[in-house]
A and B are shown apart, each in its own frame.
Chain A
Amino acid sequence: QQASKSVDKYALYVPKNGVFPRGFQVGSTASGVKKNGNLDLGIIRNTNTSRPAAAAAVFTTNKFKAAPVVVSKQILEDKNGTGINAIVINSGCANSVTGEVGIEDAKKLISHVDSKLGTSMSTLPMSTGVIGQRLHVNKISKGIDEIFDNNKFGSDFQSWLDMAKSICTTDTFPKLVTSRFSLPNGEKYTLTGIAKGAGMICPNMA
């Protein structure tokens, strides 16, 4: 076991550079929800205005769906998968099993981001962390202000890596993958993905 444990997963699996899709910016900060002062809030926004963005999502099939799942699902249905321009993700508190107040808290955060973007119903919320605790709306709202007011958005590698770090909980390394592909007509496009997850992992999403 000693040999296995000595593997440095961060060095092995975290990229040191990357290419990223046009028209997206990411920003992150430590809002104070995580007690250790680590990054715990990230926002991705679409800055492309040439045409409306399309969005889709798959969600847990757990019968007890957390507030952000309920709210995101509703927004996607209401907007028919178009005009989604931002995702706000907090880590440290899952906003799960929090009832009506949890739904209201999630809506407060997305309204806050929407107002910063000058849009409405164009933001999806996601949360991860401890179940059964109320979201720290004040701390996260201040974090949203900090990201927008200090323009902490960027499209460089470090900004994307910090975004990946901001959504981690017990993860031992941030998960960021990015690749560029060519279409038959020669046009190039890019996929960038960020994920978090280490435990409570056997998803069945639909």
Chain B
Amino acid sequence: TLLGFIVTDLPIKSSALKSILTHATNRSFNCISVDGDMSTNDTICMIANGAVETKEIDETSQEYVQVQNQVTEFAQQLAQLVVRDGEGSTKFVTVKVQNSLTFEDAKIIAESISNSLLVKTALYGQDANWGRILCAIGYAKLDNLKSLNVDKINVSFIATDGSEPKELKLVVNGVPQLEIDEARASEILNLNDLEISVDLGTGTEEAQFWTCDISHEYVTINGDYRT
């Protein structure tokens, strides 16, 4: 279960607070996956008590967008900590889907990759298994296939530690790179933090999801939770 709250001493009108929290949640807590399961109790609450002596912020205030962005970035930090925990996870993985025809399609594809058990076990085993990533893209529950073009899709692993080459191309314009540098793949997949980049090449929208690997420890923890 995900539970959380965010409190602030800013004065914010309740309707504005609702829209700020919804905006932030849709870009943070609703973009994480540890195991693909949704709880009956998930709740994020936000309270603004107005202890700071300043004018109340509403949807028309000049500070509204600034506060909305700050709350969103803040919520992303908090949401990412949940993924970093991940019940025995060893990897923190950013799944970035770029150049999609629509934001919704990018998000659905990012979620599909993030929830794939076989992608997650491959990450745990440090296996550069691009086939499983393509497979998860292919069964993503899209309304239609307008964002997908098999001749334009690119898939890469991205190193996040500053080492070069930063990008390891797995699929280029729909063509699998069969001569992958396995040594470099091992180096990138050995990192605690890494990124899976998917470039759909069909538009300009992008979405991110944060996920983790699935380890033996996950099964150990959850095998006897109730008893």
A, B assembled together: yes
User: With A199-B34, A205-B25 given, is the CB distance from A68 to B81 under 8 Å?
Assistant: no
Dominant SS at the B interface? Answer: mixed
Taking CB atoms, residues of chain B closer than 8 Å to A113 are none
Q: In the bound complex, how far is the Cα of B36 from the Cα of A69, in angstroms?
A: 20
- Interchain CB contact under 8 A, B81 and A177: yes
Taking CB atoms, residues of chain A closer than 8 Å to B66 are 183-184
In-complex Cβ contact of B86 among A52, A128, A169, A198 (8 A) = A198
Query: Which of B22, B79, B190 counts the most chain A CB atoms within 10 A?
Result: B79
User: With A24-B49, A57-B46, A190-B8 given, is the CB distance from A199 to B90 under 8 Å?
Assistant: no
B35 within 8 A of A: yes
Chain B, Cβ-Cβ closest to A167: B3
Interface size band for B: 35 or more
In-complex Cβ contact of A198 among B14, B48, B82 (8 A) = B82
Stretch of B69-77, B135-143, B166-174, B178-186 at the chain-chain interface: B69-77
Shortest distance from the beta carbon of B210 to any chain A beta carbon, whole Å: 10
A60 within 8 A of B: yes
Shortest distance from the beta carbon of A187 to any chain B beta carbon, whole Å: 5
Proximity string of chain B (14-53) to chain A, C-beta cutoff 8 Å, 1 when within and 0 when not: 1101101110010001101111111111111111111111
Chain B, Cβ-Cβ closest to A125: B43
Taking CB atoms, residues of chain A closer than 8 Å to B34 are 197-202
A61 within 8 A of B: yes
- How many interface contacts (CB-CB < 8 Å) are there between A and B? 279
User: With A57-B45, A195-B82, A199-B34 given, is the CB distance from A80 to B6 under 8 Å?
Assistant: no
Q: Which residues of A contact B (CB under 8 A)?
A: 1, 3-5, 7, 9, 13, 21-24, 44, 46, 48, 50-62, 64-66, 68-69, 72, 80-82, 84, 87, 89, 94, 96-97, 124, 126-131, 167, 169-173, 175, 177, 179, 181, 183-185, 187-206
Q: Which residues of B contact A (CB under 8 A)?
A: 1-15, 17-18, 20-22, 25, 29-30, 32-54, 56, 62-63, 66, 70-71, 74-75, 77-79, 81-88, 90-91, 111, 115, 124, 126, 190, 192, 215, 218, 221-222, 225-226
